[in-house]
A and B are shown apart, each in its own frame.
Chain A
């Protein structure tokens, strides 16, 4: 009896120690950067970036679904503008067409519980990996969230989930919501390292064959 108790105690102590050791184990920043690269694959995908647009408030159409090659894009058809409120309320409300669920008709409007552009400070459209990385950590530009709150947002927000369930004919964002949350948490645990902004911007521009500076 005594021996059993002793063994249980040892087993418990060992498992607690290994859990602590795991938490404390330094995570290789290179691993963190590799995880960030996967997160960037997600956030730069058309299902996400098309609605994380700059001050012009105009949603984009990019991706194979629109018959466009990689790197090609156009503005959302019919001069659609999300307006400053990003719901299109003062122009043409997004939900005039985008309902609470995806249309199941080919090329019908996609939908989610709320349909809107992301707030302007969260612009991802044609931003480099390094820029988005810095931005997503900055509470001024991520909706006032700490990193765990961003992970929870990915886990719980219906419009974010839509990226992996975009309706018939549309390519979903890569990986899955569950993986995205895991990537985000493990990147945060690795100290949330970001690629060098200047270097990453250069690589990105070369990849996209975009002009380096707009004249």
Chain B
């Protein structure tokens, strides 16, 4: 099947029901998205599919045939960070880091539809991305910081 990941086209020979996360990590060697639970409960595997945050562990590869997938590797680059990545560094959000690519992908997609979120909007959009290190207060601060950056404040 045809997959476009981070702007690059790939032809992968996998079963339609293989989870996208497996395709990314095992077939394409793209390891930014993490495996946490495998059942859409933690958010560690969050990627964008056609701009929307999705749990790649639970999306069958056959469903994304022809879609554009973006992982943390394609969100920004070390030279040109995405505003959310820059805010994450400024706020020093990460602790162990395992959940963080999922957090950043969730935050980036969320801010693209809600550029001026309230605290409760942030809670609603981000509560399904779990962090065992408990970096939640810093995540909230970084989302606000990123929102300001994206608005050029």
Contact = CB atoms under 8 A, between A and B. Distances in A.
A and B together in one complex: yes
A79 B60 contact: no
Contacts, number: 66
B40 A79 contact: no
Contacts of B121: 90-91
Interface residues of B, number: 24
Interface in A97-119: 97-101, 103, 105-109
Interface residues of A, number: 24
Contacts of B38: 105, 108
Contact of B54 (A79, A80, A96, A103): A96
A103 B39 contact: yes
B128 A80 contact: yes
A96 B52 contact: yes
B128 A97 contact: yes
A81 B126 CA distance: 11
Contacts of B106: 92
Contacts of B92: none
A97 B113 contact: no
B114 interface: yes
Nearest to A109: B40
A21 to B, nearest CB: 53
Interface in B71-124: 106, 110, 113-114, 121, 123-124
Contact of A90 (B53, B63, B113): B113
A92 B124 contact: yes
Interface of B: 38-41, 46, 52-55, 58-60, 63, 106, 110, 113-114, 121, 123-125, 127-128, 130
20 contacts: A77-B128, A78-B130, A79-B123, A79-B127, A83-B124, A89-B113, A91-B121, A91-B125, A92-B53, A92-B106, A92-B125, A92-B127, A93-B52, A96-B54, A97-B40, A97-B128, A105-B38, A108-B39, A108-B58, A109-B58
Given A96-B128, A97-B55, 16 more contacts: A78-B128, A78-B130, A79-B123, A79-B127, A91-B121, A91-B124, A91-B125, A95-B52, A95-B54, A96-B53, A96-B55, A99-B59, A99-B63, A107-B39, A108-B38, A109-B58
Q: Which 9 A-B pairs have the closest CB atoms?
A: A79-B127, A97-B40, A78-B128, A91-B124, A108-B39, A109-B40, A78-B127, A81-B124, A97-B55
Interface of A: 77-81, 83, 89-93, 95-101, 103, 105-109
